[in-house]
């Protein structure tokens, strides 16, 4: 399991109901189901990964964050998870709204566009930055809605979500030590991880 998935798993209470949007090969829901006794289910767009997950006995439906969340009833999960995908959905604000309609908590991770390397490359090179995290050229990237940690916090404020926990992590998922300053986290954190709840 990736380190950032472990951080997500640590945010989830045992024996709760979890929906993982973009569940990939099912690693996180498999872990939550088998090790934590959660009723963990997935949505995944890549059919090969859906089949692989179901073939491992995990409940996964083919679908995506933009089109399928509307079909889940209110308050039907304790946690709704969206890993490293918010920047790639069509309507991030609506996806967040749906997540917090379906779940009591939303767990969201995304790559931070405010990282110093990106800022520096754009400033000095004048070209769209390419880094280990942002590695596809602008004409091919699925990341159509990049944001920074501060942008995300501003959206949470506007839409009235309460940030229960947040972490800035590096690409490998190691916790980064800028907990006290959002501005520093926004400069040095490659990935951001948020636990949100409704007001």
Binding site for another protein (CB under 8 A): 39, 41, 47, 50-51, 53-63, 68, 71-73, 76
In angstroms, what is the minimal distance from the CB of 192 to another protein?
A: 29
How far apart are the C-alpha atoms of 143 and 134, rounded to whole Å?
A: 9
Considering the complex, state which of residue 74 and residue 140 has its C-beta at the smaller distance from another protein: 74
Considering the complex, state which of residue 53 and residue 112 has its C-beta at the smaller distance from another protein: 53
Q: Of 64, 158, 166, nearest to 107 (Cα)? A: 166
In angstroms, what is the minimal distance from the CB of 17 to another protein?
A: 9
Considering the complex, state which of residue 42 and residue 129 has its C-beta at the smaller distance from another protein: 42
How far apart are the C-alpha atoms of 119 and 84, rounded to whole Å?
A: 20
Considering the complex, state which of residue 47 and residue 123 has its C-beta at the smaller distance from another protein: 47
Diameter of the chain by CA atoms?
A: 50
158: tokens are 């506007």
In angstroms, what is the minimal distance from the CB of 48 to another protein?
A: 8
Half-sphere exposure of 109 (CA within 13 A, CB side): 25
How far apart are the C-alpha atoms of 110 and 88, rounded to whole Å?
A: 9
In angstroms, what is the minimal distance from the CB of 60 to another protein?
A: 6
Considering the complex, state which of residue 71 and residue 116 has its C-beta at the smaller distance from another protein: 71
How far apart are the C-alpha atoms of 182 and 133, rounded to whole Å?
A: 20
How far apart are the C-alpha atoms of 30 and 67, rounded to whole Å?
A: 24
Considering the complex, state which of residue 82 and residue 192 has its C-beta at the smaller distance from another protein: 82
> Residue holding tokens 């998922």?
173
> Residue holding tokens 């997950």?
53
Beta carbons of 143 and 163 less than 8 angstroms apart: no
């Amino acid at each position: 399991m990736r380190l950032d998935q472990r951080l997500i798993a640590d945010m989830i209470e045992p024996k709760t109901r979890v929906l993982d949007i973009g569940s990939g090969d099912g690693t996180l829901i498999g872990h939550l189901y088998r090790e934590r006794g959660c009723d963990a289910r997935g949505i995944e767009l890549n059919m090969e990964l859906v089949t692989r997950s179901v073939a491992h006995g995990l409940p996964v439906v083919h679908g995506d964050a933009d089109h399928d969340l509307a079909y889940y009833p209110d308050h039907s999960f304790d946690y709704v998870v969206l890993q490293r995908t918010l920047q790639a959905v069509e309507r991030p604000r609506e996806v967040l709204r749906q997540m917090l309609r379906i779940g009591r908590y939303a767990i969201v991770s995304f790559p931070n566009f405010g990282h110093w390397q990106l800022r520096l490359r754009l400033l000095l090179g004048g070209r769209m930055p390419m880094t280990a995290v942002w590695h596809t050229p602008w004409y091919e990237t699925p990341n159509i809605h990049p944001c920074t940690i501060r942008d995300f916090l501003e959206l949470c404020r506007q839409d009235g979500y309460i940030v229960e926990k947040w972490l800035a992590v590096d690409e490998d998922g190691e916790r980064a030590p800028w907990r006290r300053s959002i501005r520093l986290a926004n400069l040095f954190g490659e990935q951001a991880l948020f636990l949100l709840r409704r007001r």
